[in-house]
Amino acid sequence: MEVPLRIDLAFDWRVLGASALVACASGIIFRVGALLSNLFGVRGLLLASIGLYGVIAYHVTQRSHEIGVRIALGARPAEIVGAIVSRGARFAAAGAAVGIALAAVVGFFVRPLLLGVSPFDVATYASVTVVLVAVAVAASLMPAVPSGARRSARGLRTE
């Protein structure tokens, strides 16, 4: 038996019933809503990363006088870079701890809005924390390497 491949343009959609059309439309709306939520989440993570980078890089450049004094007193560039990166990592760890605690509290209140996802999703918390800590370490490492190689006179002349 052959099935004819033709489209009936005069098909009466009322035959399907309103419930079938609503089910089809609600599935599309749900997928679009999920896609938009993901896009806003990724954009929020990107904006948080850019802001974190800006704050830490600014903090490192504000310490140029201190870095110049350390170089003048005989500190090696590796020690200076290590001190700057460790301070940035401590800053990121403190921020991650506060952020995870606040996310857990807020997650408790938005539980009714989440469909099929736990508000305490460990994979989400871990991935966002890893990204933000990596950005914080990179943000403190990028200005730290040139400042560690800088001569002490240049760092002392900045003020």
pLDDT at residue 30, rounded to an integer: 74
SS3 of 75, please?
coil
Residues 47-84: tens digit of each pLDDT: 988 888 888 888 877 887 787 788 778 888 888 888 88
pLDDT at residue 24, rounded to an integer: 60
Residues 88-134: tens digit of each pLDDT: 888 888 988 998 999 889 988 888 877 777 888 888 889 888 988 88
Provide the pLDDT confidence category of residue 4 given band limits of 50, 70 and 90.
Answer: low
More confident site: 142 or 17? 142
Q: What are phi and psi of 5, to 5 degrees?
A: -100, 80
Q: In 10 A of CB 84, how many CB atoms?
A: 23
pLDDT at residue 59, rounded to an integer: 82
Q: What is the dihedral of CA 21, 22, 25, 26, to 10 degrees?
A: -150
Confidence (pTM): 0.63
C-alpha distances in Å from residue 152, one per residue of 3, 38, 64, 71, 88: 84, 47, 9, 5, 22
Q: Is 144 exposed, middle or buried (0-12, 13-18, 19+ CB in 10 A)?
A: buried
Ordered by start, the domain boundaries in the chain are 44-156
